Structure 1
């Protein structure tokens, strides 16, 4: 099958098939065959296709890593490069895909988690400049979703990374999707929320959209804050 034909086939099948069948759809193809279509899909305006591609990366890159860890590292570096100003790209879908991959491969998680976290951090004073903070709210959403994905799955590991201070500025963002995704990380890490933020969000009926386990949920900021009351 030609690369163009494969891309068209996947573009049709990934959004329409049940999420539980995602691995089955990918299994007939060699992992390397799937990379270029998936990289293009994570930039798609089709919401379902974009997120299915993120999930697909979490399936195929860990498989590649088990066969050849250096090949998997090259893929991770490709994501990192797409987020670099010098690349000329924007990096849509890169933080989310990196996080999904790290959810399912311990070695890559150990090597690249600090890079994902750096996208939420401002540069410190010399020689402690470990931040690569993303400026666009849409990219911030991707980084926060990715950190939240890992915080839900590996809360103890994320607590060790001491990220709470880095998250606080996002609670004051003018982008409500950014605020909501930052709040979810606090919840997954069972971190207390200040009275100011509780009061600010508890009365809010603003809705954010979250992708979880192949499904989309529309939830209000107030309902996220209410969940803290049970902690």
Structure 2
């Protein structure tokens, strides 16, 4: 326990530094079985610490999957359990961590992307749809993050993301629009245009930085991305 606390303190200190990215290679070089637990505990901090921990977690998982894919699968199943209501946990940061792990390893992406998608797909009483809006935000972000690297793999998420444009939660609408920018087609543009006067503020973590924007701006950017892609393919 003392060793766990010491490592947790060390990792926290690394991630709190202004040049936290410089510590990522060192974190990845540590035994994943020792760092995963402390990094997951930082998800609950919210804000910048959550995102820095998610970034580090994804890199650690990418390395672990290369070295021991079965152990990486065990961790992914642990994340899925945290998303389950029966676990008694509130899955703060879990969807984002799942996405970042998959972003860093194609095998994990192929095996688990459908589970991430299922959390915003409302079908029956027995589906995995997340009723809590802040948790859906993490899924929208995660789908967009994965779409950056695996657009063809994530195409089945377009329908659910298009529904997300009408989410009751403003931040969710904005993140769904952002994600659609990587995946959507011209058919999604009319719905995106309906958000061009939506001034709800959104904090978007992208390129390892938090950007303050709004739903309307994210929708406009998504439209431009889709139009550019359609005109150049």
Q: Provide TM-score, normalisation by structure 2.
A: 0.88
TM-superposition CA deviations, 1:108-159 (whole Å, max 9, x none):
111111111111112359xxx7x41111011100111100101122212212
Please say if residues 151 and 182 of structure 2, whose CA atoms lie closer than 8 Å, have aligned partners that are also in contact: yes
What's 1:195 paired with? 190
Q: Could you tell which deviates more after superposition, 53-62 or 1-10?
A: 1-10
What's 2:230 paired with? none
Alignment: residue pair count: 223
- Aligned pairs (5 A) from 1:26-105: 26-27=27-28, 29-45=30-46, 47-105=47-105
> Could you say what secondary structure the match of 2:131 adopts?
coil
> Could you say what secondary structure the match of 1:120 adopts?
coil
Query: Mind listing any 5+ residue stretches in structure 2 that lack a counterpart?
Result: 228-233
Q: Provide TM-score, normalisation by structure 1.
A: 0.89
What's 2:111 paired with? 111
Question: How far does residue 180 in structure 1 lie from its aligned partner after superposition?
Answer: 0.3
Mapped partners of 1:196, 1:100: distance in 2: 28
What's 1:13 paired with? 14
Aligned partner (choices 157, 162, 170) of residue 168 of structure 1: 162
TM-superposition CA deviations, 1:29-61 (whole Å, max 9, x none):
22211011011011113x111111111111111
Question: How far does residue 7 in structure 1 lie from its aligned partner after superposition?
Answer: 0.8
Change beyond 3 A, Cα 1:133–1:27: closer
Aligned-residue Cα RMSD (Å) equals 2.0
Please say if residues 22 and 56 of structure 1, whose CA atoms lie closer than 8 Å, have aligned partners that are also in contact: no
Please say if residues 119 and 139 of structure 2, whose CA atoms lie closer than 8 Å, have aligned partners that are also in contact: yes
> Could you say what secondary structure the match of 2:175 adopts?
helix
Change beyond 3 A, Cα 1:12–1:124: same
> Could you say what secondary structure the match of 2:64 adopts?
helix
Query: Mind listing any 5+ residue stretches in structure 1 that lack a counterpart?
Result: none
Please say if residues 103 and 109 of structure 1, whose CA atoms lie closer than 8 Å, have aligned partners that are also in contact: yes
